[in-house]
Amino acid sequence: MPISMMKLWTLLVPLMLCSVALADAPKPAPPAPQRIEIAVTRKGFEPGDIKVAAKKPVTLVFTRKTEQTCTKTVVIAVDDTNKIEKPLPLNEAVEVAVTFPKAGKLTYACSMNMNKGTIVVQ
């Protein structure tokens, strides 16, 4: 039994409207980067060891809380050849946004490499 054009139209219009509504739905926002606070104290970096995910953005926030340290600059190994170096003014949060490309163990340290921390990239 053939379907009349009117019946076909009443079936197709709701389907077309649903597909348009789904296509225009807002995309979910990407998750916020992981944020890790690291203090520079007389003891060195606190925490001294951190864990991050490979290929995911992370923000490391360094705050130097003492003058009694050689850690006035932080050097972060991003991979085997690339590094990020940032000055650490007293009592100011310094944000370093980074994405580590692969799993492994890396370091963050003062410019003299005396105070160190470990980044375990998983």
Whether 100 is in a domain gets the answer yes
Whether 108 is in a domain gets the answer yes
Structure tokens at 44: 């060195």
Q: What is the pLDDT along the chain (122 residues), one digit of tens a residue?
A: 566 666 666 766 666 666 655 556 677 777 677 999 999 999 999 999 999 999 999 999 999 999 999 999 999 999 989 999 999 999 999 999 999 999 999 999 999 999 999 999 99
Distance CA 13, CA 6 (A): 11
Whether 113 is in a domain gets the answer yes
* Count of domains for the chain: 1
- DSSP tag of 1: -
The parent domain of residue 57 ranges over 34-121
Place of tokens 């007389």: 42
Whether 2 is in a domain gets the answer no
CATH number, domain containing residue 64: 2.60.40.420
Residue 11 CB burial class (10 angstroms; 0-12, 13-18, ≥19): exposed
- DSSP tag of 76: E
Whether 45 is in a domain gets the answer yes
Cα R_g (the chain), whole angstroms: 26
